[in-house]
Amino acid sequence: MATQLSAEEQAIIDYVEGGNASSIDDLDTQINRYKQVAHSQISDKKAISNQLLESNIQHIEAKYISQELLPHQPLIQTKWFNGFPPQCPPSDARNDTLQVFRLVSNNPPTSDDFLSTIREYPHRKFSDEILCNAHGVSVYRIYKDALNSRNKFSKTLGHKKIAVGTITPNDGLVKETFEPSHITWWLQTEKPHKTFREVGNVTK
């Protein structure tokens, strides 16, 4: 019996191995598709053996099983975190839906307004304690905290505008850091600016 994968089987494996599965549910769907296609071909004596089928399924599942993710929770696509320090993002970072404020230079904001701190300030030396945070993007839950930060560091941030937008679970990992409403956002999206717009003065 032939052991070569069919084009459809290979496409499913490539899809998953490429980090394209958006959630555990999506991953399960792809695995179930793979089983259906492969078993159909086995019954027709056209494709892979049961042993190879189970080996490929285990290979796909093993790529994500260590993350202990819940159904509907987005997968942590590690390609976004290449070059990060060990244990970064931290284990207590989470996927969440949050409305946040960000200091930006452009109106409307662009992806250039969402560079990590270490990319914004490549010549700055960061201590080990904050190096992981520097690989993320700083945002605030409260408008006044963003305003206070701009005023406090007016030499470098005084020209910045304040934009508001929503982070979704698919956009990356977040964690409260430093000040009470300061959040570090480790991006997993190429369009972090997509929901952000400049806001005027907020009085409350």
pLDDT of residue 39: 58
Distance between CA atoms of 136 and 183, rounded to whole angstroms? 9
pLDDT of residue 22: 57
pLDDT of residue 190: 87
63-116, pLDDT tens digit by residue? 444 444 444 444 445 566 777 888 889 989 999 999 999 999 999 999 999 999
The number of domains in the chain is 2
The CA dihedral of 160, 162, 165, 170, to the nearest 10 degrees, is 30
170-191, pLDDT tens digit by residue? 898 999 998 779 999 999 888 9
pLDDT of residue 145: 94
Residues 90 and 189 in one domain: yes
pLDDT of residue 74: 45
Residue 174 lies in a domain: yes
| Mean pLDDT across the chain | 77
Residues 175 and 116 in one domain: yes
Query: Token pair for residue 153?
Result: 């560091």
**Which range marks the domain in which residue 19 is found?**
7-65
Residues 82 and 109 in one domain: yes
CA of 41: how far to CAs of 4, 5, 37, 48, in Å? 11, 10, 6, 7
CATH of the domain at 129: 3.20.170
Residues 158 and 191 in one domain: yes
Radius of gyration of the chain, Cα coordinates, nearest whole angstrom: 22
Residue 71 lies in a domain: no
Residue 70 lies in a domain: no
- Mean pLDDT in residue range 113-123: 91
pLDDT of residue 104: 97
Last residue of one domain, picked from the residues 65, 86, 102: 65
27-65, pLDDT tens digit by residue? 667 666 666 666 565 554 444 455 555 565 565 555 444
pLDDT at 168 over 60: yes
2-18, pLDDT tens digit by residue? 445 667 666 766 665 56
Residue 1 lies in a domain: no
Residues 98 and 181 in one domain: yes
Residues 93 and 182 in one domain: yes
Residues 103 and 47 in one domain: no
Residues 87 and 187 in one domain: yes
